[in-house]
Amino acid sequence: MKATDAALRLARQAERAGATPRELDAVLALLEHLGGLHPDHERLAQHAIRLYQAAGRHDAARHTYTRLTRHLTELGIEPEPATQALIAPHTRTRQMR
């Protein structure tokens, strides 16, 4: 739990401070690792999605969302509206093209 809390703090800081590409990659690697250990942890996924989008890596953001959704579905729940909203604008833009 402490590692997850620390990763969430780092992710928030990276989102606010406009992290360098190297720092962004390091935070994303940490989020991915912890996401593998806790695949249903929405906060980890939310930060990863936002950071991937900020880096222009929309496919990776979508993959993170899909993986989270799959694991939550296995538990009989769906992503929070805040999580769904992170992907929805990008999905609609793609569908309009």
* pLDDT-derived band at 93, boundaries 50, 70, 90: very low
Q: Which residues, at least 6 apart from 52, have a Cβ–Cβ distance to it below 8 Å?
A: 28, 58, 60, 61, 64
Confidence (pLDDT) at 95: 47
pLDDT of residue 57: 93
pTM: 0.84
Average pLDDT over residues 67-85: 95
pLDDT at 86 over 90: yes
> What confidence tens digit (pLDDT) does each residue in 27-64 have?
999 999 999 999 999 999 999 999 999 889 999 999 99
Gap between the Cα atoms of 86 and 48, Å rounded: 11
The pLDDT value given to residue 73: 96
- Mean pLDDT computed over 70-82: 95
